[in-house]
Amino acid sequence: MLTMGLDIGSRSTKCVILDDGQMLTYGTIETGSDSVKTAYAAVDAAVHRRIELWGEYRIELPDVRTDHLKIEDMACVIATGYGRAVVPFAHGTITEISCHARGAQWMVPGVASILDMGGQDCKAMRLGERGEVTNFVLNDKCAGGTGRFLEIIADGLKVPLLKIGELSKKSTKHIHFVAACAVHAKRETLAMMKQGESKADILAGLHESISGRVVSLVKRVGLADKFVITGGISKNVGMVAKIEEKLGGLKAHISAEPQIAGAVGAALFAFDRAKKKVT
């Protein structure tokens, strides 16, 4: 039985197809201005196994053909994320909080605390023993601590986004950033460049400042030993190292494909529903 989860995020859209709850294929594309077109394009990316945005597949996929699959072949489709309401072929929508929690559990069984650092928001979730969400906090009012923040800074420093984490780890000097605000941080960054500070040191200072912010979110919902970071920023090794340091050396579990947690969760919920219908 095939089920689909579609996560229309603010920056990227992910589509996951499961076969009886097992990963069959997934794909990703950049979110466009038209969410309906974006939804169809993400399905196309999944069936043709394209994830151009992220380079290569990091989860091994079963060696079967998927390029003949159509939306009609799906027993159930669940949409999540910012654009979830406008997916014309979805059978239902579920909030990204629930989907992320479910997806994170699929990736790391027994997970208890989740930090999701996405393109335009950042959320922390606490799960109960049965995997139910018992508490969460969400920052979607401010770009501080989001992917967009890092994008702006990377842009200002002219360093590719995917390289900033690594570069920040080469820092030799501590620079303190006051700003939690992206607009202020951009100004501060430019001022520091002018003063001749190295890009590595500037990036380290910013990673320090952002990690402090997001760690406070995790602490608010309650920190547990089995801790997962999902979302695009979890690919940033510099940020993950800073967060771990601030959590007293607690090791964060990072999935091979941390951005698809929401879509995986949606596809699992779709599987639940489809099973109910059959029985």
Partner 1 sequence: MNMAAVAGIDMGALFTKVVILDDDKTLAAVCLDIGDDFQTEAVQASNEALKQAGLKREDVKHVIATGAGNKQVRAALEERSIEERSIAICTAKGAAYFFPQARAVLDAGADSVTAMRLAADGSLEASAGHGKCASFTGLFLDYLGGMMRIPVNDMGAEAQKATDPQAVASRCAVFAVAEIISLIHRVPAIPVPDILAGIHEAMASGLHGVSQKVGMQSDVVLCGGVARNIDVVRRLEAKLGAPVLIPKDPQILGALGAALFAQQALARAARLLPEPLTGGGAKC
Question: In the complex with partner 1, which residue's Cβ is closer, 17 or 214?
Answer: 214
Q: Decide whether 24 or 153 has the Cβ nearer to partner 1.
A: 153
Q: Cα(178)–Cα(172) distance, rounded to whole angstroms?
A: 19
Q: Which is nearer to partner 1, 142 or 161 (CB)?
A: 142
Strands (E), 64-198: 76-80, 92-93, 113-117, 122-127, 133-139
Distance of CA 273 to the CA centre of its chain: 24
Q: Which residues contact 171 (CB under 8 A, 6 or more apart)?
A: 198, 200, 201, 203, 204, 205
In the complex, the smallest distance separating the C-beta of residue 145 from partner 1, rounded to whole angstroms, is: 11
* Greatest CA separation for the chain: 68
Name the minimum Å distance from CB 76 to partner 1.
Answer: 31
- Which lies closer to partner 1 via its Cβ, residue 33 or residue 279? 33
Nearer to partner 1, 79 or 150 (CB): 150
**Smallest distance from partner 1 to CB 148, Å:** 6
Q: How far is the CB of 234 from partner 1 (least distance, A)?
A: 21
Residue numbers of the site for partner 1 (CB under 8 A)?
10, 33, 120, 141-144, 148-149, 152, 180-184, 187, 191, 194-195
| Residue closer to partner 1, measured from CB, 59 or 183 | 183
* Four-CA torsion 161, 220, 109, 30, nearest 10 degrees: -30
- CA distance linking residue 226 with residue 218, whole number of Å: 12
DSSP lists the bridge partners of residue 27 as 15
Q: How far is CA 97 from CA 79, 123, 229, 234, in A?
A: 12, 8, 14, 17
Q: How far is the CB of 194 from partner 1 (least distance, A)?
A: 7
Q: How far is the CB of 32 from partner 1 (least distance, A)?
A: 11
Q: Per the structure block, which two tokens stand in for 90? A: 């979805």
